[in-house]
Amino acid sequence: MNMPSPLRPLIAATLLLPLMSLLGCGKPETGGPAQTGFDALVASCTQFLAAREPHVRPGGSGEWIKTGYSPALVVPELNRTESTVTPFVGKIVVKDNEAQAAATTQDGAQAITLTPAHLLSNRTHTFVYSFDGKTWRWQNGQLLTKIPGQNDTTVALALADVSAVGPKGFTGCLPR
Span 84-136, pLDDT tens digits: 999 999 999 999 999 999 999 999 999 999 999 999 999 999 999 999 999 99
Region for 142 from its dihedrals, namely left if φ exceeds 0, alpha if ψ lies in -120 to 50, beta otherwise: beta
Query: 4 falls in which pLDDT band (50, 70, 90)?
Result: low
pLDDT at 30: 60
Q: At residue 154, what are phi and psi to the nearest 5 degrees? A: -125, 130
Q: What is the pLDDT of residue 6?
A: 45
Region for residue 166 given its phi and psi (left: phi exceeds 0; alpha: psi -120 to 50; beta: otherwise) = left
Task: Of 148, 124, 141, give the one whose Cα is nearest residue 175.
Answer: 141
Contact predicate 28/80, CB 8 Å: yes
Q: Where are the domains of the chain?
A: 29-173
Model confidence over 122-175: pLDDT tens digits?
A: 999 999 999 999 999 999 999 999 998 899 999 999 999 999 988 889 999 999
26 pLDDT higher than 60: no
Q: What is the pLDDT of residue 12?
A: 38
